[in-house]
Amino acid sequence: MSQYNVEGKQLEAFLGPLEASILQTIWCSKKRPITVREVLEELKKKKPVAYTTIMNTMDRLYEKGLLDRKIEKSKGGAYLYYVYWPKLEEQKFKEDAVRQVLSSLIDNFDELVTSCLVEKAAANGQQLEALKEKIDKTIKEKKQ
């Protein structure tokens, strides 16, 4: 992840809105690999979008290392097209993205990040207890 958008929600904190919609569509698809046209058909149900826009955005996601692809031939062999699949599943992508952001914040702001994290968790008793349990578990594992 090269950027983090503090205004973005969920995937849009790490990706543009169309990139996030495309990845979400692919993750939710029962068919893999998936074509640009199949992604387009799903996204058109929500709002109009051009084939070339989806194609270019999927190519950009490939260039960013978020999608993988291969070339396939049409049934008659008359033309070639790409099929795509995600390099990471949704949960793994989110974990990696959050770890990168936190790592960058800790590298740049050290104790302030820890302080803010505890302060934020303290606003919710369940979150604070979960954080305490994770810290206790990590300390115990480090001692072994």
Contact 59, 53 (CB under 8 A): no
φ and ψ at 119, to 5 degrees? Answer: -60, -45
Mean pLDDT for the chain overall: 91
Specify burial of residue 54 (Cβ count, 10 A radius: 0-12, 13-18, 19+): buried
The string of pLDDT tens digits covering residues 36-88 is 999 999 999 999 999 999 999 999 999 999 999 999 998 888 999 999 999 99
Domain ranges of the chain: 10-87, 92-143
pLDDT at 2 over 70: no
What 8-state DSSP symbol labels residue 15?
S
- Name the fold adopted by 10-87: Arc Repressor Mutant, subunit A (1.10.10)
pLDDT band at 9 (very low <50, low <70, confident <90, very high): confident
The string of pLDDT tens digits covering residues 80-114 is 999 999 999 999 999 999 999 989 999 999 899 98
- The residue type at 61: L
